[in-house]
Structure 1
Amino acid sequence: MKEVLLLKCGEIVLKGLNRKKFEDRLLGNIKRRLKHIGDCTVTMRQSVIYVEIPEGVDGDAVMDAVLKIFGIALICRAAVCEKTLESMQATAESYLADRIADAKSFKVETKRGDKRFPMTSVQVSQHLGGELAEKYKHMKPDMHHPELTIHFEIRDQYAFVHPGPVQGAGGMPVGTNGRAALLLSGGIDSPVAGYMMTKRGLELIGIHFFSYPYTSDRAKEKVFELGRKLTAYCGRMPILVVPFTKIQEEIRDKCHEELFTLIMRRFMMRIAEKLAIQYECGGLITGESLGQVASQTMPAMAVTNAVCETLPVFRPVIGMDKEEIVQIARKIDTFETSILPYEDCCTVFTPKHPNTKPKMPKILEAESHLDVEALVDEAVQNTERVIV
């Protein structure tokens, strides 16, 4: 029996003259994500995207991939049949046999996209509902709280039978709102931040700061694994690995301990902005949550933000508590990787008593002992690009 996924678009249906640009990007994203699974045909008609699943292709794998593609509001996994009452009934009985066997109550819902079909939606539902009730005595019609709803969609070429839609990923198609650089640590928060901004249509480039030998290759591989998990949602993503050891040692040797984390964060933002501009990004993304740690108080974030001269900084988890962030991390399957016990550079040389209310003159005076520009340029020049 031929199967197809009917994908109903999300908020892109509200776009005006630019709508086709969003639709084309979404179609391209779907084709790329499904390419490694099988030769699925992806087309769009009457504002619905059809993903035809060929014989021999794993339909569950196709469904799982499509569930993670932003821009899709609803997904119906359906069987295809001819536009006759007999064919629709026979297909429902075959395709939904297990559900029909288990259900004690049911109803039929019909959508008639092809207005040339000689019966109205209500008439089709009444006829097919009556036939099914007559044949399957254990199922009672229930229009309000049925255990099973059998959906028939009569469209331009074929009819489709399915048990109802499931929620898609929503959001905007990746790439429709440009590209941004994600400061990707090995923690819980930054992958969630990347996921949330990808949902708004951003392509991602990861930037990871690596401090060998204070952080191990296992810590770097952990970050690559987080990147791989994010690609299920964002598609292709390079990660830029920045050598950060020399900068941290310079800060340790020449600055007050209480300012170490803040000055380190300022270096990160300077380097990230330079790399982001180099890779044609329109913004930076961090996983900062207000008040979660000492470097994420309002005064501390103002100090780190001050070095970003060109690009905006997006902080999508800024108002979330840790449990809310953890829930999303579990949903996107990054949590278990994030809690692996391999330290990242943010935990190296952490001060015992960090300054939570820094003053800019004191920060600038501390940085005057460092050759900031030379250190930033050297780190940018020695950055390694890795595709995950």
Structure 2
Amino acid sequence: METHIQIRFGELSTKGKNKKRFVQQLAQNVRMVTKDYPQIRIKPEHDFMLLELNGAAEADILERLQHVFGIQNFSPVYLVSHDLNEVKRVLVELLGKMETAGKTFKIATRRSDHSYEHDTTFMNAELGATVLAAFPAISVKMKQPDILVRVDIKTSGIMLSTQTYQGAGGLPVGSSGKGMLMLSGGIDSPVAGYLTMKRGV
């Protein structure tokens, strides 16, 4: 399976008519921090951004994205078709690579494609039953599970993920103009600079 990375915007989702400009700036910043991986394709969407790795080092990219302002969180995802049996197969394959004995899990489905035949309640129950049948030593826990399985139903297919990483939050650097920082010998000015960058300067 080919891994992609789904980037979620967080604060950018509140930017209204200016959102496109903020997303474009974030895409440029992501391209900058991954410029030594020219094979990566960056695909901005309405409420997320998708990175096609095309063989790029996943662990290295995940580390770099944690320091990019404008990213709320992100996940390695696997794209599958809308076929439910295919979704089940890939889900079992993903969890089979993890330590599940004695662990708890939760299925969290989000359906932005409302033309899809199954609603979120059905998907949560059906995929949960599939996991329990395949891994008898795992159990369901709705609050703070050990493993949170995200199921994101899009028009183009279904994204599955089992890990979420926190980004730096805030706004993309470069989206709020330019500034100048004078550094003194104390800690205050570097902290002020960091917080200013977090606001897009």
Flag whether TM exceeds 0.5 (same fold). Answer: yes
Please give the secondary structure, in 1, of the residue aligned with 2:181.
Answer: strand
Alignment CA distance shift 1:10-1:108 (3 Å): closer
Q: What do the CA deviations read for 1:40-91 (whole angstroms, capped 9, x no partner)?
A: 1111223111111112x11111111111111111212212222222222222
Aligned equivalents of 1:161, 1:4: Cα separation in 2 = 10
For 1:296-375, what aligned pairs fall within 5 Å after superposition?
none
Q: Which residue of 1 aligns with 2:17?
A: 17
Alignment CA distance shift 1:188-1:36 (3 Å): farther
Please give the secondary structure, in 2, of the residue aligned with 1:150.
Answer: strand
Q: Which residue of 2 aligns with 1:33?
A: 33
Aligned partners of 2:10 and 2:70 also within 8 Å = yes
Letter in 2 for 1:29: N
Q: What do the CA deviations read for 1:235-288 (whole angstroms, capped 9, x no partner)?
A: xxxxxxxxxxxxxxxxxxxxxxxxxxxxxxxxxxxxxxxxxxxxxxxxxxxxxx
Q: Which residue of 1 aligns with 2:134?
A: 135
Query: TM (normalized to structure 2)?
Result: 0.90
Q: Which residue of 2 aligns with 1:110?
A: 109
Letter in 2 for 1:3: T
Q: Which residue of 2 aligns with 1:352?
A: none
Aligned equivalents of 2:116, 2:169: Cα separation in 1 = 32
For structure 2, the 5+ residue unaligned runs are none
Please give the secondary structure, in 2, of the residue aligned with 1:170.
Answer: coil
Aligned equivalents of 1:103, 1:88: Cα separation in 2 = 24
For 1:176-187, what aligned pairs fall within 5 Å after superposition?
176-185=175-184
Letter in 2 for 1:58: A
Q: Which residue of 2 aligns with 1:76?
A: 75
Q: Which residue of 2 aligns with 1:197?
A: 196
Please give the secondary structure, in 2, of the residue aligned with 1:160.
Answer: strand
Alignment CA distance shift 1:31-1:71 (3 Å): same
Please give the secondary structure, in 1, of the residue aligned with 2:172.
Answer: coil
Q: Per-residue deviation at 1:97? A: 2.4
Aligned partners of 1:12 and 1:19 also within 8 Å = yes
Aligned equivalents of 2:95, 2:190: Cα separation in 1 = 39
The alignment-based identity, stated in percent, is 26
Q: Per-residue deviation at 1:170? A: 0.7
1:54 aligns with 2:54: yes
Aligned equivalents of 1:144, 1:13: Cα separation in 2 = 26
Q: Which residue of 1 aligns with 2:155?
A: 156
Aligned equivalents of 1:113, 1:142: Cα separation in 2 = 25
Letter in 1 for 2:170: G
Query: TM (normalized to structure 1)?
Result: 0.49
Please give the secondary structure, in 2, of the residue aligned with 1:96.
Answer: helix
Aligned partners of 1:110 and 1:124 also within 8 Å = yes
Alignment CA distance shift 1:182-1:102 (3 Å): farther
Alignment CA distance shift 1:63-1:38 (3 Å): farther
Aligned-CA RMSD value: 1.9
Q: Per-residue deviation at 1:32? A: 1.6
Aligned partners of 1:85 and 1:128 also within 8 Å = no
Q: What do the CA deviations read for 1:193-215 (whole angstroms, capped 9, x no partner)?
A: 2211111111xxxxxxxxxxxxx
Ranges of 4+ aligned residues in structure 1 off by more than 6 Å: none
Q: Which residue of 2 aligns with 1:301?
A: none
Aligned partners of 1:103 and 1:148 also within 8 Å = no
Aligned partners of 1:5 and 1:76 also within 8 Å = yes
Larger C-alpha radius of gyration, 1 or 2? Answer: 1
Q: Which residue of 1 aligns with 2:94?
A: 95
Please give the secondary structure, in 1, of the residue aligned with 2:17.
Answer: coil
- The structure whose RCO (Cα within 8 Å, separation 6+) is larger is 2
Q: Which residue of 1 aligns with 2:3?
A: 3
Please give the secondary structure, in 1, of the residue aligned with 2:36.
Answer: coil
Please give the secondary structure, in 1, of the residue aligned with 2:73.
Answer: strand
Q: Per-residue deviation at 1:17? A: 2.1
Q: What do the CA deviations read for 1:117-165 (whole angstroms, capped 9, x no partner)?
A: 1100110111111111122111122323432222211112121111243
Q: Per-residue deviation at 1:12? A: 2.1
Alignment CA distance shift 1:103-1:29 (3 Å): farther
The count of aligned residue pairs is: 201
